[in-house]
Amino acid sequence: MPALGEVLKKFNPWHKEEEPLPPPFTPSTAYLLLALYALVYFIPFYLSPTTRPSPTLSRDAPSVIRARIRSVSLSCALCTLITALILSRSASLSPSAILHLLGVYPLALLPAVKILLLTSLLFLGPLYSYFLVEKGYKPWSTLSPLRETLTEWTDYRNYIAGPITEEILFRSSSLPLLLLSQAPLSSTIFLSPIIFGLAHIHHFYEFRLTHPAVPISASLLRSLFQLGYTTLFGAYANFLYLRTGSLLGVCAVHAFCNCMGLPQIWGRVEDENEDKKINRLWTVGYYVLLVAGAWMWYGHLWGLSESVETGLVGVDQW
């Protein structure tokens, strides 16, 4: 119901609709800032011998991982501070409004759980394969995978440090700038992830250093494939972040997707201890759940991702 003052204004012959203020900067400027943020994130990897890979020092070496985590933590803090200052000075936003755009407050715990549940639908087949076919429930009964994640440096990077820092940089620090520039919603979701995908291209150089025997064409295809799925995930994460305003949620989804990897879309699902007949049943069950999960994900995409209270984009803008 419109406010009384708004209704009376319509009967005022001298009343004129106020024109919206122009954005403080253009979408091109916002995209340039995003690209600079990406450079600030990974360029320091090659400025120090402690983080720079070489033919004798892998990116998976614990010393390299620890140094890189320190580096990206500082980069994220710097970029978050810059975004907060821009929001404060260019848009004159209050601290609570800035924290909202950064996805920090309110915490949006329920929306985070909902989008994690939504994403798990895409992995019904792999979850079935892991927990039932491969008996993955046994190590989880003692929480040993969780202990490994907290003690193994590669797991800690892939499932905790990586998802958190990448989401802080490419969602929390970046998307508010595109919203402030009034960039079209479609380009905010689908074009900005290209920068997220390109930020992973440096893995091509690192892979070539540590795997010189692999043909360069195979290395290139590997990097292009990585560019494709990281860009696709970036678009999905953008969508979820704008719908829920939850940094916690997109961090959880990112970590979950890193844990699951890409779903198997061909071949058999097998248990070495079972006969061929049982393995065929496992395989049928896997692909039925894979398709059914994708269908349910599509059907619940808008419902489970909707959060009127914490979302950054109004319902009418979708």
The span from the CA of 278 to the CA of 72, in Å, is 47
Residue whose structure tokens are 């997109």: 250
Q: Which of 231, 217, 223, 221 is nearest to 202 (CA)?
A: 223
Q: At what angle do helices 247-260 and 109-121 cross, to 10 degrees?
A: 30
Q: Which of 100, 166, 203, 254 is catalytic?
A: 166
Task: Give the pair of three-digit tokens for residue 317.
Answer: 């803008």
Note if 166 is an active site residue: yes
205: number of Cβ within 10 Å: 12
Q: Which of 6, 15, 18, 200 is catalytic?
A: 200
CB 303 within 8 A of CB 241: no
The span from the CA of 51 to the CA of 63, in Å, is 8
Q: Which of 285, 220, 233 is nearest to 260 (CA)?
A: 233
Note if 300 is an active site residue: no
Task: Give the pair of three-digit tokens for residue 125.
Answer: 């087949």
Catalytic residues: 166, 200
